[in-house]
Chains A and B, each alone.
Chain A
Amino acid sequence: GAGVSQSPSNKVTEKGKDVELRCDPISGHTALYWYRQSLGQGLEFLIYFQGNSAPDKSGLPSDRFSAERTGGSVSTLTIQRTQQEDSAVYLCASSPRSRGWHTGELFFGEGSRLTVL
């Protein structure tokens, strides 16, 4: 498809397990963002990738969270030793350009709903 694709759409895991969430952005989009949305809450910034530059990880809530983006395309968000407070919808978005101060339009995936029991 032409949109941002995320998988899995739903993930139920036990506390303490590791999970991987995948994002396949729109082809050619250089900027990729991960956000977290807890129930009834707004969007919480996690991490930002721009082209081949080092990612900005300033939004990651703890060192249990990490993300990588291979070949400037697909990104994986990994949560180690999951906790119940990690339960949320994890949203990925890509944008056609971002030059520090100017951003392009955001295109979001459908999200990955994570439930930690």
Chain B
Amino acid sequence: KNEVEQSPQNLTAQEGEFITINCSYSVGISALHWLQQHPGGGIVSLFMLSSGKKKHGRLIATINIQEKHSSLHITASHPRDSAVYICAVSPLAPNTGNQFYFGTGTSLTVIP
């Protein structure tokens, strides 16, 4: 069982559409991270949040600690948003050095 579940696994959208990617987790956390990985590229941290909502440009991340759920929203999507979006959590009490649990990612393709 994965501690972090993302949905959908794959998502195709038309340019301009509003996109939502969901992340649910099963452990107590100190923080949740949204990461972006472009094809063949490295991984970039988009957000780190522990409560409420954060916004950066067209990206919005929200988290509900009680429901153990986070969403990443992209407004006015653009083909350059095509990437894999990864949700990761920092567990409150990691048993090992694995300080993060990662979701398997959501592959987003935005069509012009």
Contact = CB atoms under 8 A, between A and B. Distances in A.
Task: Check if A and B associate.
Answer: yes
19 contacts: A41-B104, A43-B86, A43-B88, A43-B102, A45-B100, A47-B97, A48-B97, A48-B99, A55-B97, A58-B97, A58-B98, A59-B98, A102-B30, A103-B99, A105-B48, A106-B88, A108-B35, A108-B42, A108-B44
Interface in A30-71: 31, 33, 41-43, 45, 47-48, 50, 55-59
A25 interface: no
Contacts, number: 71
Give the bracket for the number of chain A residues in contact with chain B. Answer: 20 to 34
Give the bracket for the number of chain B residues in contact with chain A. Answer: 20 to 34
A91 interface: yes
A50 to B, nearest CB: 8
B96 A106 contact: no
Interface string B72-93: 0000000000000010101111
Interface string B39-50: 001111100100
A106 B102 contact: no
A92 to B, nearest CB: 10
With most chain B CB atoms within 10 A of its CB, the pick from A48, A101, A103 is A103
Interface of A: 31, 33, 41-43, 45, 47-48, 50, 55-59, 91, 93, 98, 100-111
A41 B44 CA distance: 17
A47 B97 CA distance: 7
Contacts of B90: 101-103
B7 to A, nearest CB: 14
A59 B88 contact: no
A103 B100 contact: yes
B16 to A, nearest CB: 29
A50 B96 CA distance: 12
Given A31-B99, A42-B105, A56-B97, 16 more contacts: A41-B104, A42-B103, A43-B88, A47-B97, A56-B96, A58-B97, A59-B96, A59-B97, A93-B43, A98-B99, A103-B90, A105-B33, A105-B45, A105-B48, A106-B45, A110-B41
